[in-house]
Structure 1
Amino acid sequence: MSGTYRDFLELSYEELEEKNLSIKEERKQRTDAGKLQEARLKDLTDTKGVKAVTVLFSDLEGRLHMLDYDKKFLVNSFDNLTFDGSSIRGFTAQKESDLRLGLDWGSFYWAPADVFGSGKALVFGEVIDKDGKPYAADLRGMLKQFANEQYKQNGYTLNAANEIEGFLFDGVDAERSFAKTGAFEYVNAGGYYHSLPGDPLREFIDTAAEVQRAMGFENEKDHPEVAPSQFEINYTYGEVVSAADQIQLYKLICRQIATQMGMTASFLPKPVTGVNGSGMHTNVSITKDKKNLFWDANGQEKISPMAWDFIDKILTAGNDLCLLLNASVNAYRRLDPHFEAPNQIKASATDRGSMIRIPIGNEKSARVEVRSVGPDANPYAVLLSVFKTGLEGEIGKIENLRQAERYLPDNIYTAIENFRGSAWAGKLLGEDVKGRYADLKQASADRCARLLGTIVKAPEVQFHHDVYNQLLWGQF
């Protein structure tokens, strides 16, 4: 169809960055939700050329779902958006399927037309149960509720920044084709910090970074990673819910840019044996009255007793949390000590094999880095489990807790067993959601070889929750 008669909104990247940073500042200032709603509805009404609003939410495993609402319909019916929850893995049963989507107007983004289509804006949704309360299996809603409670009760702002690694492979839908090809093809073999200007990996990184910048990510640095065709694009710290949202957007942007270039951005933790896997190092801190509570110039490793208490609670619950932080069969290939794997349940300022690292910091940047997180994990589950454990967990009576010879599981079956038997996991998610999550992980694991072996096998890719689609799931 000819585009002659179309006149949908297409903003420059500079205009997009200005608009998105303005909305980001409103989030930082904790602007009243009613005022945010009023402002965004006015923006949509007054801005010509917006045809649709894409509403985003995530299922229990962290897979991103999107649906488009016509702008005029959304403006008039934003408080009555329903969907069939029984079609979402880990959500409701068929007999009780109706759920509602509320809109988190503070998590609104103006979208680049060349990536998301002209005339579109994005907003994250909150899944609402039939009784009007946040839906227990929507971990974004649970994370937001927990963060708000911490702010109201203690004045705490929970902050996070994630270093998300991925691979760029030749060909569109390389993961879905893996069952037939049995291999991934690199687009660059250069390795750490090495790529020529204009090569496919560099062009991909540059383009994705430009999109992130336009969407208000406030980029810091980007580069090829250690393994061939591996990348990492870093951006600034954010409040915990926005940080988790940005993880979902980061992966969405990377996948879309790669597809437009005829390639695949993969966030499998270990898609290729024999080279370093991909992680999602999770840096966290807590501020109160703009003061970093994890900093102590005179403390051990220059972090505060509160930060060490936070660390000790996570180390105590290391095996309880493992299935949430390493959410797939493939993730346990990454926990291999031969490739700088963070599989030791200990804390260290220097040992990158530790589950937790204390990076060099100052009053502004002091933080705790949880390294044993796969890039395919549900970001809302990761940040909820890290912060809730660090603040409300218990410290176990384990001799030499911070340096004990303890290791994370090397296979998903042990992780599932630990998770099912964990009382803390039940307190973290609620027993119902805990059971649903474990059942989903069990179903995927049971479709794969029980022993990992030395090569990546088709089922661990084909039945991976990020790669999952109904056609592939039916081929078993």
Structure 2
Amino acid sequence: MSTELRSFLALPYEELEELNLKAKQERKNRVAADKIQEERLKFLTDNKGIKAVTLLFSDLEGRLHMLDYDKKFLVKSFDNLTFDGSSIRGFTAQRESDLRLAIDWSAFYLGPADIFGPGKVLVFGEVIDKNGTAYSGDMRGVLKSLANEMHEKEGYTLNAANEIEGFLFAGVDAERKFPETGRFDYVNTGGYYHSLPGDPLRSFIDTTAEVLRAMGFENEKDHPEVAPSQFEINYGYGEVVAAADQIQLYKLICRQVATGMGLTASFLPKPVVGVNGSGMHTNISISKGGKNLFWDPKGEEKLSGFAWEFVDRVLTHGNDICLLLNSSVNSYRRLDPHFEAPNQIKASAVDRGSMVRIPIGNEKSSRVEVRSVAPDSNPYLVLYSIFKSGLHGETAKIANLRQAERYLPDNIYTALENFRNAEWTTKLLGADVKARYGDLKQASADRCARLLGTYVKAAEVQFHHEIYNQFLWNQF
């Protein structure tokens, strides 16, 4: 179809970066919500080249959902956007299906036209229950409430930075085709830090990095990872809700770029047995008045007592929240000690098999790194459970807690049992949401072999929460 008569907005990458960084700074500065709303509505109204607004939200398992609203409709009706919650796994029952979406105008992005289509902007939404309150199953809203509460009561800013690993495989929809093919094919076997300029992996990384840069991610470094055809693209830290939003955008962008190249970007934690799996190392710090509260030049490993107390609480609840950090059957293949897997519930500055690592840092970068997080987990649920546990959890009376001989589960059934039996997870999520989440994970587990075995089974891919669709699920 001819595009000669169309004039929808398509900005250069440099201009996109400037606009997205401006929006990011406003969010960081906590500009009043009503002022941001007024500014965004004016922007949409004044820019005739914008045709639609893509509204993003995530379900309980962390799968990203997107709705496109016509711009003119949205500007008039943004305060009354409804959707059928019964169609979203983990949300509502069919008999009580109506939910609303409120727009978080601070979480506003202009996307490159060659990736998202011309004339579109993206914004994250918050799920609202029928009675007008925040919906308990929307973990983004729950995380945002915690972040706001900590800022209002204690002056804390919760910070996070995530190192998200993934694989690039040959062919489009390689994961959905896995039950038929039984294999994933690499596009590169160069290994750690090595790929030739212009090969498929390097081209994918370069293109993805350009898109992330244009969307205000503030890139730091990118490179092939240890396993064949594996990648990692690092970017700067952010306030916790913005950091979780960026995880969802990062994965969406990777998948879109890969599809455009006729390839598949996969965030399965262990798609291939015998090589390193993919993690999502989660770097955590807390600041107050611009001061990093985790830094103490005289403290053990240059961490403050406040930071060590945070670590001790996370270690105490390591088994309780393991299912939240490793939410799929496949993720327990990654927790294998032969491949630098962080399966030991301890803290260390040097041992990469520890659940929590203490990286080298300074006053600005001092942090703790939770290494046992899988890249297919719900980022809002991950960050909420880590921060809530570290700030408000208990400290176990275990001798030498930080180096005790304790291990994370090696299968999802043990993780499920720990999750369901823990009083702490009920306090974290509430009984209703906890039960829904447990039931979703049980359903996935029951469709897979109970013992993982030595090769990846079709069912653990086919019924994975990021891969299934209604058609696939009903094939069981």
The two structures have a TM-score, normalised by structure 1, of 1.00
Alignment partner of 1:183 is 2:183: yes
Residue in structure 2 matched with residue 277 of structure 1 by the alignment: 277
In the TM superposition, what whole-angstrom CA distance separates every residue of 1:208-260 from its partner, at most 9, and x where no partner exists?
00000000000000000000000000000100000000000000000000000
Q: Which runs of 4+ in 1 moved over 3 A?
A: none
Amino acid at match of 2:443: A
Residue in structure 1 matched with residue 378 of structure 2 by the alignment: 378
Query: RMSD across aligned C-alpha pairs, in angstroms?
Result: 0.4
Alignment partner of 1:6 is 2:1: no
Residue in structure 1 matched with residue 93 of structure 2 by the alignment: 93
5+ residue gaps in structure 1? none
Q: Distance in 2 between matches of 1:434 and 1:399?
A: 30
Amino acid at match of 1:366: S
Residue in structure 2 matched with residue 352 of structure 1 by the alignment: 352
Amino acid at match of 1:460: E
CA apart distance, 1:187: 0.1
CA apart distance, 1:6: 1.1
Q: Distance in 2 between matches of 1:468 and 1:367?
A: 36
Where 1:57 maps in the other structure, the secondary structure is strand
Q: Distance in 1 between matches of 2:347 and 2:186?
A: 34
Q: Distance in 2 between matches of 1:117 and 1:235?
A: 24
Q: Distance in 1 between matches of 2:61 and 2:270?
A: 18
Q: Distance in 2 between matches of 1:474 and 1:27?
A: 42
5+ residue gaps in structure 2? none
Amino acid at match of 2:422: S
Q: Distance in 2 between matches of 1:10 and 1:318?
A: 46
Alignment partner of 1:79 is 2:73: no
Q: Distance in 2 between matches of 1:16 and 1:379?
A: 25
Amino acid at match of 1:328: S
Q: Distance in 2 between matches of 1:43 and 1:20?
A: 13
Residue in structure 1 matched with residue 242 of structure 2 by the alignment: 242
CA apart distance, 1:4: 1.6
Q: Distance in 2 between matches of 1:473 and 1:117?
A: 30
Where 1:121 maps in the other structure, the secondary structure is strand
Matches within 5 A, 1:139-150: 139-150=139-150
Amino acid at match of 2:329: V
Q: Distance in 2 between matches of 1:339 and 1:89?
A: 33
In the TM superposition, what whole-angstrom CA distance separates every residue of 1:337-386 from its partner, at most 9, and x where no partner exists?
00000000000000000000000000000001000000000000000000
Amino acid at match of 2:352: R
CA apart distance, 1:2: 1.6
In the TM superposition, what whole-angstrom CA distance separates every residue of 1:300-327 from its partner, at most 9, and x where no partner exists?
0000000000000000000001000000
Residue in structure 1 matched with residue 69 of structure 2 by the alignment: 69
Q: Distance in 2 between matches of 1:39 and 1:183?
A: 49
CA apart distance, 1:468: 1.2
Alignment partner of 1:231 is 2:231: yes
CA apart distance, 1:400: 1.1
Q: Distance in 2 between matches of 1:134 and 1:399?
A: 41
**Alignment identity in percent?**
78
CA apart distance, 1:399: 1.5
The two structures have a TM-score, normalised by structure 2, of 1.00
Residue in structure 2 matched with residue 306 of structure 1 by the alignment: 306
In the TM superposition, what whole-angstrom CA distance separates every residue of 1:368-421 from its partner, at most 9, and x where no partner exists?
100000000000000000000000000011111000000000000000000000
In the TM superposition, what whole-angstrom CA distance separates every residue of 1:257-283 from its partner, at most 9, and x where no partner exists?
000000000000000000000000000
Amino acid at match of 1:230: Q
Q: Distance in 2 between matches of 1:3 and 1:217?
A: 31
Q: Distance in 1 between matches of 2:359 and 2:126?
A: 34
Residue in structure 2 matched with residue 201 of structure 1 by the alignment: 201
Matches within 5 A, 1:276-355: 276-355=276-355
Residue in structure 1 matched with residue 138 of structure 2 by the alignment: 138
Alignment coverage as a number of residue pairs: 476
Q: Distance in 2 between matches of 1:292 and 1:113?
A: 38
